[in-house]
Structure 1
Amino acid sequence: MAARGGERDPPDALQNRIRAERAKKERQWQLLFTQYTVNPHRPVHMVARKPMAWHENIHEPIDDEFLNLLHRAAEVPRRKYSKPQTESQEIGWHTTPLVPLDHSDIRFYFPRWTTEITVHGYPAPRGQKSKD
C-alpha cells in the first residue's frame, strides 16, 4: 500500500531490522522479577473467611517475616526512620522545644488573659446569651 506523497512502504527486510533493533533495546532495560511480596506502602484489606470452605479452615503456621513486614508498614514515619526521608517530612520532624518551658519567664510564656473587654468576644454556649 502506498503512502501519501508517492512514497512506498519499506521492504520487509528493513521492517524486520527495525523491529529487531527495537526488541533489543527493550530487552536491555527489562527486569525479571521472581520474588513477589506485599507492597508495604498499601493498606491490606482483610476479607472474612468462608466457614464451610475446607481450604480456608486449614490452620497454617504464621510467617513471622511477613507479619513483621505488615507491622512495619503500619508504623508512622518517625518510628520507622531516624531521619526524615522527604522534604515534607522535615516540617514537624523535631518536636522537642529548644528552650524548656518556664512559666515564670515572660519572654517565652504567653498565657491567655481575660478582661472585661475580651469576655464579650468569647462565644456563649447554645441557648444562652452572653454576659452583658
Structure 2
Amino acid sequence: MADKRSKEKDPIDIVHQNAIHVETILKEQRYQKLYTKFSINPYKKVHILTDKPMSTNTDEQVEEDPAFLRRLRGAHLEPTKKYTHPMTESQEIGWISTPLISSDRSDRRLNFQRQNTEITKYMDAAWRIKEQTQNLG
C-alpha cells in the first residue's frame, strides 16, 4: 500500500510529459482542417469603408460579385421567403398569413361596419374640442 501512494505522488518525468504532449498534438492535427477559401459572412451587416482623403486611387472601380450579392439579399429576407417551412416552434404562429377566404366588404354576414349613435357622435365632438384646447394652451 505504501508503494502505491509513493508512485502517485512522484512527479511525472520530462520524457513522459513530452510523450503526452506529442500524442496531444498528433490528435489535434488529425482532426484539424486547413481552410484556404475565405468569404464575408452574408448574415452580418457589411461596413463599407471609404478611401483615405488624400489617396489618388479614386478612379479605381471594384467589381461586384453577383453570387455574393444574391446571398446578401437573401439573408435580409423575411423567414417566409427564405424557407419553405418554419424553422422554430415560435415561427409556426403566423407562418401562413394568407386569409382562408377572400374578404368581401359588401357581405354583411362577416363585416360589421362601425356605427355611430348619438352618444358616440357627442363624445367624438367632445374629444376633438378637448384636443384643440390643449393644443392652443
CA spacing shift, 1:9–1:117, aligned 2, 3 Å: farther
Distance in 1 of aligned mates of 2:90 and 2:67: 30
2:26 corresponds to = 24
Which of 113, 124, 127 does residue 124 from structure 1 map onto?
A: 127
Deviations 1:42-100 (A, max 9, x none): 01122233353134542233322232232222322322333333333322221101133
Greater gyration radius: 2
Whether contact under 8 Å (1:78, 1:93) holds in the other structure is yes
Q: TM-score, normalised by structure 1?
A: 0.66
Q: Are 1:72 and 2:109 counterparts?
A: no
Distance in 1 of aligned mates of 2:20 and 2:116: 81
Q: TM-score, normalised by structure 2?
A: 0.65
Which of 63, 66, 86 does residue 65 from structure 2 map onto?
A: 63
Q: What is the number of equivalent residue pairs in this alignment?
A: 124
| Shift of residue 115, structure 1, vs aligned partner | 4.1
Mark the runs of 5 or more structure 1 residues left unpaired by the alignment.
Answer: none
Report the secondary structure of 1:44's partner residue: coil
Report the secondary structure of 2:29's partner residue: helix
* RMSD between aligned residues: 3.3
Comparing both structures, which one devotes a greater share of its residues to helix?
Answer: 2
Identity among equivalent positions (%) equals 35
Q: Which has the higher contact order (CA 8 A, sep 6+)?
A: 2
Matches within 5 A, 1:1-132: 7-55=9-57, 57-103=59-105, 104-106=107-109, 108-115=110-117, 120=123, 124-125=127-128, 126-128=131-133
Whether contact under 8 Å (1:40, 1:73) holds in the other structure is yes
